[in-house]
Every structure is written in structure tokens, then in C-alpha cells.
Amino acid sequence: MERLILILLLMLSSLAHGKELSQYIAIKAQKAYQLSQEEKTDEAIRLLKAIETSRLYDQAYISRMLGIFYWQEEQVSDAILHLKAAVDSKQLLPDIAWSTEKMLADLYLSSGQFTQALPRYYSLVKTSEPKPDSEGLWLRIAQAHYQLGQWKSVISSVNKYFKTSPKERVQPLSLKLGAQLELKKWDRAILTLKSLLEIKPEKASWWRQLASLQVQVGKVRDAVDTLSLAKVNHVELSQRDLRMLAQLYAQVGLPEKAALEISQLNDASTDVKLLFEQAVYWQRAKEWDKAIAVWQSASKYKSKYRWNLIGLLLQQQHYREVLDLTKDIKKNPERVAMTRAEAFYKLGEINKALHEAKRADRIKSSKISQRWIKFLSKVSRDTTV
């Protein structure tokens, strides 16, 4: 309907500016218009194509009508061919020429012919008087440059678009962001992401991207603030995002918050990697009991983590628990024996400690086992005396 109205406007404008169609062409054009109104666009096209005229204005007029009808029928190539002929003829009245060239540029853009679209759009924006439907031309120019990978031109076009005080902001800012990322303008991309989040704070991917960029430029604390703010605002962050937040807490020296964040993930009590991270963070936070509890859970899934648990139990003077844990360990017998020797020594059971040290030395003699044997033998003698 919009295109048909444009046809009618073209006829009226022609009369108003003193340009008239020949009577024959006017009758044919009116008939074609009526056919299109009756949804007989194919017939209207056949009627117009059959017209022969030597008058340049008549030719431009018919070409424009054909272009619009072909566009209506979604026959893009034919629409472009006829609209281009109409525009390039220089016969159309200024306003009609402008709207026709805009149609042509839009068709080039929508059909992926970005190189052809750009000069048409640039011609349109050079018009001295702004047109009612000129809003968005710079955005279309930015889109074309984006598709061609012309990143600097994308940014300059978006900036010019914003000077027109448009209502639409998300799409141009998204184009600008993409260009800034391609140009590795990280700091500027951060500012653009903040602008986008002011418009759509619920967009989780932008929070994630902002935090990643802040980490990339070394602003880890800003990244922590970004993700924690998103969480407070109930943005739907993924498990990966929350794990990233935990790791960032650890990087800025907040291991307790890191451990708490990990502990709230879906598989925190069953995923061995998450259990490992929790235990490490609790240990860094000097929350010994919590670290011990998580190491115990982790060791049930991977036996190698028993040694992390044993080491922490020794540190915290839980020597009986160390002895209980090491009683049935078959791997690394020399390590088991030396660990038990240390535990018995701390409990004051010197002879048992010496027995374990000698057992370790028999399995695999080392400077450590020899040193312990010498030390414990002396302690045993001194105790006997």
C-alpha cells in the first residue's frame, strides 16, 4: 500500500511541478495503478512493459512504477534494474528522485549488495534539506560498512547517526561495539557496553562481555563489581559466569567469597573440580574446618585428594585422623610410612614413629628417612635415659 501511495504522489507531484506525462502514458499508468489496487500486479507489470515511448520523463516515470511493482512482487533484481534506470535518468522531480534512490539503496542493502548501496546512501545524506523519511540513513550506512568489515567507517557512521537524536539506540551501539572489538579498542568497547546495559540491564551476555573485557585490560576489580552487580540485579547469569566471578574474587584476594560462590553452583557437592576449587579457596581463607570438610568430599571422588586432606589435618594437629586415613592406603607406601612417623611423633609415640621411619627407609631409602631415623633414635635414647 505504501508503494502504491508513492505512485499516486508521483503523479500528483508531476502535475504540481509542471511536468506532465503524455496523455497516452498517463492513461496506461492509471490503468496499471488500478490493476495493482485489484491485486493484479502481474498484469500491471505486463501492461507497463509493453509501453513504448521516446519521452525521457515518460520512461523514467514508467521505470519507477515498474520498480515499485517488482519490489511488491519480491522480484528484487528486476526492481533494482528499473529503479536504477529511473534514478539515473535524472528526469524525476527532486523529492521523488530522493525517495526513489532511497528505495533503491534499501533494496541493495537488503539483498546483500552493500558496495552498491553505500554510494546511494551517501548521496541521500548529502541532501541539503532533511526529508521526512531520512531518519536512519546513517544507521543503514553503518550496517553496510559493518557487512563489508570497514570497522572505522562503522564507528564514524554510528556517531553521525546519534547526532540525529534517534530513538533507536541498541542496534547502532551493537554495531559500534562489534567494530570496536574488531579494532581491539577495548576501553572504548567497555564504554559502549556500559551504554548498552543502561538500556537493557537484563542482557546477561553484555554483562559477561563487559567483565571479560575488564579482565583483559587488567581491571579485575571492575570485573568483580560488574558480575556481582549483575547477580544482585537478578540477571540470569550462567553457571560459567558465576564460576568466573568466584575465580575473580580469588584473584583480588577474597578467597572466602570465592569459596562461597563456588559452593552455590549446581554441582558444587558432586563435581570434583568444583570441590577442589572450593577446598583451595577455603584453605586460602584459613577456614580450616570448611577446607577439611570439602577435601574429605573431594577425596571420595578422587583418591589423590586424600593427600591434600592429610596435609591439612597434619597442619591442624588432627594426628589421630591422619593415622586412621593412612592405615589402608596402598599406593606410595614410603610416603605413607613417613606421614605416619610424623603423626606418631607429634602424639609423643616415639617408638611407633621410629618404626614407621625405618619401614619407609626399607621401602625406599632417602635423606629424609635417614634424617628422621637419626632424629627419632636420639629422642628415644634421651627419653629412655
How far apart (Å, rounded) are the C-alpha atoms in residues 303 and 260? Answer: 24
Please give the full DSSP string across 301-345, using - where no structure is assigned: H-GGGHHHHHHHHHHTT-HHHHHHHHTT--SSHHHHHHHHHHHHH
Find out whether 358 and 373 touch, Cβ atoms under 8 Å.
Answer: yes
- The candidate with the shortest Cα–Cα distance to 21, out of 257, 13, 361, 318, is 13
The residue type of 361 is D
Beta strands in the chain (DSSP E): none
Q: CB under 8 Å to 275, separation ≥6 — which residues? A: 268, 269, 294, 297, 298, 301, 305
pLDDT at 41: 87
Residue 249 buriedness (CB in 10 A; 0-12 / 13-18 / 19+):
buried
Question: What's phi and psi for 339, nearest 5 deg?
Answer: -65, -45
CATH of the domain spanning 317-385, picked from 1.25.40, 2.60.40, 2.30.30, 3.30.70 = 1.25.40
Find out whether 244 and 252 touch, Cβ atoms under 8 Å.
Answer: no
Q: How far is CA 237 from the centre of its chain?
A: 13
pLDDT at 26: 86
Half-sphere exposure of 218 (CA within 13 A, CB side): 0
- The candidate with the shortest Cα–Cα distance to 143, out of 104, 175, 112, 110, is 175
Q: Greatest CA separation found in the chain?
A: 135
203-218 pLDDT tens trace = 999 999 999 999 999 9
Check if 158-227 and 317-385 are the same fold.
yes
337-354 pLDDT tens trace = 999 999 999 999 999 999
Find out whether 283 and 312 touch, Cβ atoms under 8 Å.
Answer: yes
How far apart (Å, rounded) are the C-alpha atoms in residues 23 and 41? Answer: 22
In our burial notation (b when 16+ CB lie closer than 10 A, e otherwise), range 177-186 reads bbbbbeeebb
Q: How far is CA 178 from the centre of its chain?
A: 10
pLDDT at 19: 63
pLDDT at 385: 52
Long-range contacts of 49-53 (CB under 8 A, 24+ apart): 51/25, 53/22, 53/24, 53/25
pLDDT at 328: 86
pLDDT at 20: 74
pLDDT at 128: 56
- The candidate with the shortest Cα–Cα distance to 7, out of 63, 80, 47, is 63
pLDDT at 29: 86
CATH topology of domain 158-227: 1.25.40
pTM of the model: 0.80
How far apart (Å, rounded) are the C-alpha atoms in residues 291 and 118? Answer: 63
SS3 label, residue 379 = helix
SS3 label, residue 166 = coil
How far apart (Å, rounded) are the C-alpha atoms in residues 17 and 185? Answer: 51
Find out whether 355 and 323 touch, Cβ atoms under 8 Å.
Answer: no
How far apart (Å, rounded) are the C-alpha atoms in residues 280 and 289? Answer: 12
How far apart (Å, rounded) are the C-alpha atoms in residues 306 and 357? Answer: 21
How far apart (Å, rounded) are the C-alpha atoms in residues 204 and 211? Answer: 11
Find out whether 295 and 305 touch, Cβ atoms under 8 Å.
Answer: yes
Where do the domains of the chain lie?
Answer: 1-112, 158-227, 317-385
Give the chain's residues under pLDDT 50. 9, 11-18
